[in-house]
Amino acid sequence: MEKYAWKGKIVDGALDEYVKRHDAIWDEMKKVLEEAGIVNYTIWNVGNELFGYYECLYGIEHATRVQRESPVVDKWNEYMKDILIMEMDPETGAQPQLKKVFSFK
C-alpha cells in the first residue's frame, strides 16, 4: 500500500473553522475518498501548519486521478479556500506529495 503525505497552512485565526468544517465533512466528499481508495487519513496541526497523511489502497496514481477528476473535490477546495493556503501540484492536481526521508519498521 502506498503512503501519501502533504502539508498546508491555515489562514491566521481560522483553525477552529477548519476543524469545524472537517467535523462536518460532506457525505459526498467521503464517497470520493472511498472511491479513491484513501484510508487511514489523518491531519495534524501545529501553529498555522497542517500535515496530512493517508494510505492508498489502489496506489497514489489512482487516488490523485480520482480526486483530480472529481467535481466534489473542486467544490470542497472552493469551500476551503478562504481558510486554507494550499499550493496544488500542477501535474497531479493534488497537494504536493512530501518525499519520505526516513522510515522505522
Determine whether 22 is an active site residue.
yes
Q: Please report where in the chains the cell 489502489 appears, as a residue.
A: 58
Q: What is the DSSP letter of 41?
A: E
Q: Please report where in the chains the cell 498546508 appears, as a residue.
A: 8
- Catalytic option among 22, 30, 31, 75: 22
- Residues, the chain, total? 105
Among candidates 40, 52, 35, which has minimal Cα distance to 94?
A: 52
List, by residue number, the catalytic residues: 22
